[in-house]
A and B are shown apart, each in its own frame.
Chain A
Amino acid sequence: MRAKLALEDGTVFNGTSFGAEGERFGEVVFNTSMSGYQEILTDPSYRGQIVTMTYPLIGNYGVNGEDIEARGPQAEGFVVREASRVRSNFRSTEDLATYLKKAGVVGIEGVDTRLVTLRLRQHGALRGVISTTDLDDANLVKKAKESPGMAGRDLVKEVTPKQSYAWTERTEGPLAPAALPAAAPDLYRVAALDYGVKYSSLRHLTRLGCKLTVLPATATGKQVLDLKPDGVFLSNGPGDPSALDYAASCVRDLAGKVPIFGICLGHQIVAHAMGGKTFKLKFGHHGGNHPVKDLKTGKVEITAQNHGFAVDPDSLGKTGLEVTHINLNDQTVEGMAHKSLPLCCVQYHPEAGPGPHDSLYLFRKFIQMMADRAK
């Protein structure tokens, strides 16, 4: 079945439908990871977005029940050059097209995904629409232009749980990274604020001995502290961080009272909580090959990234925060720590689902922060 992808700049791509049928809107972004499409699809940070994979051959190893970052796919739409007809992997349980269809994600293949990427690089993030129902170019471009953008949008409310719950699953098996040595269970009580958390973060923390309570993003500082946590984990999540006053105010209340470790959206919320600002990047960072330099050690980590906003380093003057990590590609802020309080955060994804494991040490560092605090 034919399908089309239209961008607000007027470019229309013809392709073939794979996955669900229908019409979906979203901000079109590209991801440069060559593997890990299942994790990408299930990453709640992609809520409200149509994901284009720059690697042209997608679906080769199918999907399985393990490589998921949420219960099911989160992206609005999925754009690839060629969706594999065959899945070949010992862990595979289903093919990608069926998986998308079941989850209602509209997929399109046969698209010149390099051109999509070039357009996004030229114009910055663009709104777009994928459709199998309306194949009129002019109509589609109009719809793309009229669709809501990302700025100012609170997508966290769409993905955060209604109620808090306990998390127990942990990273296990032959694929568990060596950088995460299994610890005895329940050594630390950790409250995880779920702005759209990826399972990998929760699984890794559990493996390192954390007893996790996952809280809705709307939780207040008091609600968190009532749990008497040894540490607080601020998760990743979708959308514009400046729209999340409630989350920032919660973090403000927690700062200094308990060790805090934030990643991605969590990192941006920390900036806002402490009085800093964020801005929208031209086309964001989405991929698994971004070099990040630890300014203290000089070491470079290859990191997984997925963010459309970044912290403005010039806004940190009175926040007490200092920049600890920078991106070597564009020098943007990738990590911060508070000068006196037990609070650190990174813009990238140390949990690496998908992506390189270079930054898993940060979870151990968080454990260390809690251990130090306990002394």
Chain B
Amino acid sequence: MPARRDIKKICLIGSGPIVIGQACEFDYSGTQACKALREEGYSVVLVNSNPATIMTDPETADRVYIEPVTVEFVTKVLEKERPDAILPTLGGQTALNIGVKLSESGVLKRLGIVMLGADEKVIRKAEDRRLFKECVDRVGLESPRSHHVHTLEEAIKALDDVGLPAVVRPSFTLGGTGGGIAYNKEEFGAIAQRGLSLSMIGEVLVEESIVGWKEFELEMMRDKAGNTVIVCTIENFDPMGVHTGDSITVAPIQTLSDAEYQRMRDAAIRLMQEIGVETGGCNIQFATHPKTGRMVVIEMNPRVSRSSALASKATGFPIAKIAAKLAVGYTLDELPNDITKKTPACFEPSIDYCVVKIPRWAFEKFPEADPTLGIAMKSVGEAMSIGRTFKEALQKAVRSLENQRFGLGSDRKDLWARGERPDPDKVRELLVVPNAERLFAIRDAMKLGTSVDEIHGLTRIDPWFLENMKDLVDAEARLRGYTALADVPADVLREAKRLGFSDVQLGSMWRTTQHEVRADRKKRRVLPTYGLVDTCAAEFAATTPYYYSTYETEDEVRISDKPRIVILGGGPNRIGQGIEFDYCCVHAAFALRELGFETVMVNSNPETVSTDYDTSDMLFFEPLTEEDVLNVCDRVKPQGVIVQFGGQTPLNLATALKKAGVPIIGTSPESIDRAEDRKLFNAMIEKLGLTQPPGGTALNYGDAKKVAAELGFPVLVRPSFVLGGRAMKIVYDDEELEHFVGHAIAASPDHPILVDKFIEEAIEVDVDAICDGKDVVIGGLLEHIEMAGVHSGDATMTLPPFSLSDAQIDRIKSDTKKMALELQVKGLMNAQFAVKNEVIYVLEVNPRASRTAPFVSKAIGVPLAKLAAKIMVGKTLKELGFTEEITPDHFSVKESVFPFSRFAGVDIILGPEMKSTGEVMGMDRELGIAYMKAQEAASHFLPTKGKVFVSVKDSDKRDVVFIAQRLEMLGFEILATSGTARVLQRNGVHVKEVPKLKEGRPNPLDLVINGELALIINTPSGKGPKTDEAKIRAAAVGHGVTVITTIQGAQMAVNGIAAVKRRAPEVQAVQDYHKGLVNVRKAKAGSAR
């Protein structure tokens, strides 16, 4: 069956900002889908609010709308574009939910739009747990025993049948939000209550606990002829009870015999048919009882998911691309397998390696959060690794996380390597309750002599995984038997490498450095070989150069005689380093391919576009450590390596790579060092006659105390060579200083910490510029809405600035240009300034791609990262046609998105340590509307009527008066606690006083819980997480009430509300925004050159 020709224009719905449970994987799938559909001649309209995506590049779709992914805005897009169809199955749960709502509300019918991939009925059957269970029953499969309830009373009654422990799962939420396992009645009541309020339909499922069962997942594809294939099978290392997103997972399934696997496969196919997923991808999770084999169905996603991205990268099978083609009518046998070209996509990949996915958490950012793992996902990113054995893959996975762990132990973070022993009780505790440290606790337990049986008893982790870990622990003990590297026979060294031990680990075992181990290895020809990811276990020749390292006998790397550039990616997503950097890496690959280079990508993050097999000419799915990167460089002998695009990860490798003789292109590592090293930086600022806040460096608390005394509090304390404001803090006294100096040293142990005078009440500005060493062009100037002190990754920003004077803007630009030229930047540079009174302070300079590079590129219509990559290989800005700055005549607002709703009880106050997981963009000719769109895209809905609760700290009381007055004029009812109320009343605002939490009821907390408040304006007094205000804020997040925590934010919100009340917001494609901008065309032409 060929593609449908009754459809010409298709609207693809994106997944919005990166949040926990929904990350880059949907940029990957959406981008693939856009390409696949356009290849077939369809016109593609895309809606996504996330500017840091490749899919929102104006080149990816015919019409790109960077607008909120809400029913209201998607409807506007549909009304404007009138597509024939929407495709909601490639944008995660967000897009799927929008699809359902558009269908339910009759919008699709009214506009004559069909839904591709899955229709409302199918989505309901898969997502509504009751309907799903009925389907499971109908095809003769089993689900865990369960009951759907709508009230707490019903929930408690259900417990009689299900028993404790019991699982509570709210219907219709993202990534299992709000669910939990209850071990006692009290806990049960609390979880059930929370679940009921979080569910979109006020419903939860109370279910038999299958905690500790083995967990599996099947990734499937189906076409409209009913052909179904299993693309990948996955077995979870962590048994049932830990969300799959928080589990270490392994592909393919390891511990099922074929008969058991085939039963699961049959079940999955029957269920997919019964649910009615007509075309595309889907995944189904199963659990089996380890002793009896009883199999139950857990859940199904009738769409492309995070695991689909993993399955695609694990097997080489492009699920999203194929899903898009199936959605428009192709059948699997009509589509070729892209990897082999000669065989069809209608087959089941066979792999001849083992894949391990490992999550990365960010608990260090949220010290108050509960660090145990359960059925609600908490990880912010993941890394994937490929090895010939589980042991090799596991060790590679651990070092891919970039947590300064280089495998399973024997590195600097290893207690044992230092001759210490962990506390056995503590180890036991870590085994029993799943947590981020459990993998290492298992090793500790083994080294303490705990048997595999006992560890299995405590963790329920399958003995197969545990025994493999035991093999590594035993191997380590054997390897430690050699006292020096010189005594180690070559075959033992090779065997150690085959088990995945890194040079760092081996160096630690043999009391030498990784460099010595490496040199010795090379001398003895113990070198990695690169195997091919080919979907077919070498049965057919593969054309796609997608590689992983291992220690075998045959190397399959094919090298052309083209000049080669290696691009180092950013590794797993974490707070501070995510999709923005992947975006830049992808652009580098595109740009250099245009110039005729062979592009080589190295990355370990399976969610990304950069690890798509056709983004670059060669893909190495490898950890981003010195050893692994040098191995790739040794093999492909690049003309240049780009370290400035992948965030801090590759940047931290720059010096070591250069020392090893790797040609780093772009801005030199010396310049990078000059910007990061405090002494060198000070000298440069002085030389250029610029101003920076006074400050100093310290190696310990004593030093820091001296520096702080000279500067006077408050001071800003931070480690150097980190990203995302890790362990960065504004400190007001010595006691705090001592505490946070400790944190800062721990966060970056090799480098001094920085102590600077904190400039209070200053306006902060971010500048992104591009420089070829001779000319500098400002990409964009972004004014922060919050005052300085909020990390730039968390701040709300506008481009162009809205309150700075021309003189200030000119000075900032000229400072930026001076620094770019002084640092001989070749590529991108980001600088941050604080503006206080008439003084312009340089806060920091980063001669690399910044987090805002994609946002600025979308705002001004020029692909900065692409141009920068071309500069790195010798092009000039003049040659590229980008010589003049572009000042857009529309406003672009960047808003950040936070994971607070995942961490119950965590206060939402922002500071210098970055906490956001993602960002959105709002665009409009009017600032207020652009701001409002950004807020809405970030799920901070700005109300146009209702009750506003106002409670501000004393220093904000003057400023809040005008805000409250305007809100009253706009028709809002103002509520406040006594202090704020008095100030407002004195200024003639009609305000209803509400008692403080301990003073009476109903208090603000009651109002939040009862859903009576439309908006909260609450600026924090800074007294910590246990205060009333913190409780109110945390509750508001839990109940979806928008909270504004700064006066500047409140002013902007009022602007937005007023603007929306004047005129309904409209939608406009980025292509149309860019059309109006002068110089864009010229630069575009250059970018294609």
Which A positions have Cβ atoms within 8 angstroms of B?
A: 13, 30, 32-36, 38-39, 54-57, 60-61, 64, 66-67, 81-82, 84-91, 112-115, 117-118, 121, 174-175, 177-179, 287-291, 293, 298-300, 302, 328-329, 352-357
Contact = CB atoms under 8 A, between A and B. Distances in A.
Contact of B352 (A61, A66, A86, A114): A114
Q: Which 8 A-B pairs have the closest CB atoms?
A: A36-B258, A354-B258, A86-B467, A54-B537, A88-B464, A289-B348, A32-B350, A117-B538
B387 to A, nearest CB: 9
A275 B351 CA distance: 39
Interface string B260-284: 1111011000100000000000000
Contacts of B420: none
A79 to B, nearest CB: 13
A38 B256 CA distance: 12
Contacts of A85: 467, 471
Contacts of B256: 35, 61, 89
A174 B333 CA distance: 32
A329 B344 contact: yes
B7 interface: no
Contacts of B348: 288-289, 302, 356
A114 B257 contact: no
Given A55-B352, A90-B292, 20 more contacts: A32-B352, A32-B537, A35-B256, A57-B390, A67-B257, A81-B389, A88-B467, A112-B553, A114-B352, A114-B388, A114-B552, A121-B541, A287-B537, A299-B225, A328-B347, A329-B342, A329-B344, A329-B347, A357-B265, A357-B266
B250 to A, nearest CB: 10
22 contacts: A30-B538, A34-B253, A35-B257, A38-B257, A39-B258, A56-B353, A57-B354, A86-B464, A86-B468, A89-B256, A89-B257, A90-B289, A90-B291, A114-B537, A114-B554, A121-B538, A175-B259, A287-B539, A289-B350, A291-B347, A299-B225, A300-B346
Given A112-B553, A300-B332, A302-B348, A55 B262 contact: no
Contact of A117 (B270, B289, B352, B389): B352
A1 to B, nearest CB: 15
Contact of B538 (A38, A87, A114, A174): A114
B23 interface: no
Given A91-B257, A179-B266, A356-B265, A117 B537 contact: yes
B467 A356 contact: no
B254 interface: yes
A177 B263 CA distance: 7
B239 to A, nearest CB: 12
* Of listed A177, A300, A357, residue having the most chain B CB within 10 A: A300
Contacts of A86: 463-464, 467-468
Contact of B388 (A56, A118, A291): A56
User: Which residue, A114, A179, A289, has most C-beta atoms of chain B within 10 A?
Assistant: A114
B293 A91 contact: yes
B394 to A, nearest CB: 12
Contacts of A287: 350, 537, 539
Contacts, number: 177
Contacts of A82: 388-389
Nearest to B292: A90
Interface string B229-265: 1000100000000000000000011111111111101
Contacts of B263: 174-175, 177
Contacts of B168: none
A287 B552 CA distance: 23
Contacts of A115: 552-554
B467 to A, nearest CB: 4
Given A57-B389, A356-B265, A33 B350 contact: yes
B536 interface: yes
Contacts of B258: 33, 35-36, 39, 67, 288, 353-355
A118 B554 contact: yes
Contacts of A329: 342-344, 347, 540
B178 interface: no
Contacts of B462: 88
Residue with the highest number of chain A CB atoms closer than 10 Å, among B140, B255, B539: B539
A61 B257 contact: yes
B352 A178 contact: no
B259 A67 contact: yes
Interface size class of B (residues with CB under 8 A): 35 or more
Contacts of B291: 90
B347 A289 contact: yes
A61 B227 CA distance: 30
A67 B262 CA distance: 12
Given A115-B553, A354-B262, A356-B348, A81 B539 contact: no
Contact of A289 (B227, B349, B467): B349
B803 to A, nearest CB: 62
Contacts of A177: 262-263, 266
Contact of A300 (B227, B266, B352, B536): B227
B264 to A, nearest CB: 10
A219 to B, nearest CB: 31
B333 A112 contact: no
Given A34-B252, A60-B255, A89-B256, A291 B346 contact: yes
A89 B255 CA distance: 6
A67 B256 CA distance: 12
Nearest to A287: B350
A86 B266 CA distance: 28
Nearest to B235: A60
A114 B348 CA distance: 18
Q: Of residues A55, A84, A291, A357, which shows the largest number of chain B Cβ atoms within 10 Å of its Cβ?
A: A291
B290 interface: yes
Nearest to A40: B258
Given A34-B350, A178-B266, A329-B344, A56 B389 contact: yes
B350 A175 contact: no
A60 B254 CA distance: 6
B333 A328 contact: yes
Given A34-B252, A89-B255, A329-B344, A357 B352 contact: no
A354 B227 CA distance: 20
A70 to B, nearest CB: 16
Contacts of A300: 225, 227, 332-333, 346
A217 B466 CA distance: 48
Contacts of B463: 86, 88
A70 B538 CA distance: 29
Nearest to A92: B257
B251 to A, nearest CB: 10
Nearest to A122: B541
B226 interface: yes
Contacts of B847: none
A270 to B, nearest CB: 26
Nearest to B553: A112
A169 to B, nearest CB: 15
Given A300-B227, A302-B348, A328-B347, A114 B531 contact: yes
A61 to B, nearest CB: 5
Interface in B505-554: 531, 536-541, 552-554
Nearest to B343: A329
Residue of B140, B388, B538 with highest tally of chain A CB at under 10 A? B538
B471 A34 contact: no
Contacts of A30: 537-539
Contacts of B389: 56-57, 81-82
A61 B537 CA distance: 21
A330 to B, nearest CB: 8
Interface in B272-317: 289-293
B270 A178 contact: yes
Contacts of B257: 35-36, 38, 61, 64, 67, 89, 91
B307 to A, nearest CB: 18
Which of B261, B342, B540 gathers most chain A CB within 10 Å?
Answer: B261
Interface in B434-476: 462-464, 467-468, 471
